[in-house]
Amino acid sequence: MPSYTAPVEDMMFLFEKLRDNKNYNELEKYKEVSPDLVKDILDQAAKINQNLILPLAKAGDENPAILENGVVRTPPGYKEAYQKYIEDGWTSLSCDPKYGGQGMPRTVSAFFDEMISSASLAFKLYSELTLGAYNCIHHHATDEIKDKYLPKMVEGRWSGTMCLTEPVCGTDLGLLKTKAVEQPNGTYKITGQKIFITSGDHDLTENIIHLVIARTTDAPKGTKGISLFLVPKFIVKDDGTIGSRNGISTGSIETKMGIKGSATCVLNFDEAAGIMIGPKNKGLSQMFTMMNLERIVVGIQGLGISEIAYQNSLSYAKERKQGKSNNNSQNGNADLIIEHADIRKTLLNMKSIIEGERALCFWLSQQTEVSLNHNDQKIKQEASDMVSLMTPVVKSLFSDLGMEITSDAMQIFGGYGYTKDQGIEQFYRDNRITPIYEGTNSVQAADLVFRKLSNKNGNIINKFLDTVRSETNSNNEKVKPFIDDFNHYLNILKKFSEWTIERIENKKDDVSAAANDYLKTLGYVSLAFSWIKVLNVSFKDYQENKKFYEDKINTAKFYFDKVLPRAEQHYKSAISGSSNIMNFKFN
């Protein structure tokens, strides 16, 4: 079974040294969240993930969730682990204290998200969608509904789902067929079928709260006619206790390539009782409260799986002997594979990407909290625009690079990586869904170039460029060579942005063909931005912890030399246009 050690030291470095967003530090609600408190939380999180949750990854892969006589049964060990998980309060970490939560900021909860993604993504998914549903209800439901449903969801006794996809529609939700018929008492009867519903049914919680998008009988066509409904598996009585089974049944569980411990269900709604959340015909915008959070979390899933893949690759490379390195002077003796330049390059590629991603996530977590909680509306909106811009980048780049890193991990293990014995190929299979769900990465790229670069608040990408320039200023002579290199790529990103925005009006195929390239260019430059912030601290505080900061400096140098040049390659490929693509005749 793979091993895992939570990277608490690196996480604490970020929390202590890169918590530098002035607007974030003005938030009164987090003044008491000290480094000592965070260190204690992360140490406890490391223990439960390393000791209790990690073994569930193999158990769930070998004994997937099953549908038996209409009941979904989770893999062996899941029930006991989930009970301990909620008793220790991990479902409540970032939730509102009003409903029993601990009120921790995303600068802390994102670290936990990464740890549990490393330990067992399949197990994580049973509580992850609950937090998404909690956020949606918290933002859009009435106080009466929040008081009735949220405490049990925060506690983890009830779970939640997001029910969007249908057989007739995936991303194009305007085609959905699920109907909602209003009843005399103001509730609705929901009828239809939803597919690919993560944690759609299971035996871990007393109730499951489904958030379902559907059309009322008088709704207009397309996405403008979508409303959002809360539909519980079991009817919840006025006093908050559970009543009879609602009109919801599980048709089947998908047989999947990975995350086999997670029950991905086909759900049938047969006049199931539901409550409308928010205004009629505004359901899609409300659901996006949940979806946007989930997209960032999916990126963190890719980061978490990348981290455990890297750790096991590094460990294997230090013990596996194969061939002789170029520096070997002893005849007949094989070297450890970590002595080979190609293996070292692969490991450094993993490491430089992972640590850059973690730093970027931490920066984005601060922006997220400002966008939700700052008192100044202008500051709040500016932070919201940054989060909107970076959400598709984090979701797509981190999950795509997770595929690269897990593939490279298998390569380092060689033939052993291809077998199930080492558990390495499972990382690849489990991560393969992350570029697909919550909107495929190509959908994310299209969303970025057509909707996020500019909006009613102006040119967001230029604001981002201004922000990163201001945050990477440094008088340290040792940092300046990196900044000079960084500025070269910022200029490429600026030119690419101008090229993209200019073509949106009359050459949309050019933009569509370039969308993934643009997202990756923005992503690699954003990781470089994170590394500049790390370098500023590393050179300034070098004497405090020479070994740690020397490691950071050398890892950053690898990123700038070997990884960041990809940004320019994507730019050059993209600006060749789309004429050949669109005119090509497929036989």
pLDDT tens track for 151-172: 999 999 999 999 999 987 766 6
- Residue 329: what pLDDT? 54
Q: Which active-site residues does the annotation give?
A: 438
Cα dihedral sign for 349, 355, 361, 364? negative
Find the mean pLDDT for residues 263-280: 96
| Nearest of 23, 90, 17, 9 to residue 53 by alpha carbon | 90
Residue 302 covered by a domain:
yes
Q: Is 369 inside a domain boundary?
A: yes
- Confidence at residue 61, expressed as pLDDT on a 0 to 100 scale: 97
Question: In this structure, are residues 483 and 528 in contact, taking their beta carbons and an 8 Å threshold?
Answer: no
pLDDT in tens, 369-407: 999 999 999 999 999 999 999 999 999 999 999 999 999
**What is the per-residue pLDDT for 333?**
81
Determine the structural domain holding residue 421 and report its residue range.
Answer: 287-322+336-574
CATH number at residue 404: 1.20.140.10
**481 pLDDT exceeds 80?**
yes
263 contacts: CB under 8 Å, gap ≥ 6? 65, 67, 72, 74, 198, 199, 200, 201, 202, 253
Q: Is the pLDDT of residue 175 over 90?
A: no
Q: Mean pLDDT, the chain, as a whole number?
A: 94
Task: For residue range 409-462, list pLDDT tens digits in order.
Answer: 999 999 999 999 889 999 999 999 999 998 899 999 999 999 999 887 789 999
Each residue of 14-73: pLDDT tens digit?
A: 999 999 999 999 999 999 999 999 999 999 999 999 999 999 999 999 999 999 988 999
Categorize the per-residue pLDDT at 332 as very low, low, confident or very high, splitting at 50, 70 and 90: low
Q: What is the dihedral of CA 576, 579, 582, 583, to 10 degrees?
A: -130
524 inside domain = yes
Q: Please give the pLDDT value at position 367.
A: 96
User: Contact, 175 vs 300, CB < 8 A?
Assistant: no
CB-side neighbour CA atoms (13 Å) of 476: 18
Asked if residue 352 is part of any domain, the answer here is yes
pLDDT score of 324:
79
The percent of residues in the chain predicted with pLDDT above 70, rounded, is 98
Query: What is the model's pLDDT at position 326?
Result: 77
Residue type, 480: K
Ramachandran category for residue 376: left, alpha or beta (phi over 0 → left; psi -120 to 50 → alpha): beta
Q: Which tens digits make up the pLDDT trace of 91-113? A: 999 999 999 999 999 999 999 99
Q: C-alpha distances in angstroms, 486 versus 49, 96, 180, 395, 414?
A: 37, 39, 53, 23, 36
Query: Is residue 34, in this structure, part of any structural domain at all?
Result: no
Q: To which residue do tokens 């209800």 refer?
A: 137
Mean pLDDT, residues 499-527 taken together: 96
519 falls within a domain: yes
Q: What is the pLDDT of residue 454?
A: 82
Q: What share of the chain is helix, strand, coil (3-state, %, to 5)?
A: 60, 15, 25
Amino acid at 425: E
- The H or E element that residue 566 is part of is helix 566-574
pLDDT in tens, 109-138: 999 999 999 999 999 999 999 999 999 999
Tokens 């158990």 belong to which residue?
59
Number of structural domains (the chain) is 1
Q: Mean pLDDT across the stretch 327-354?
A: 88
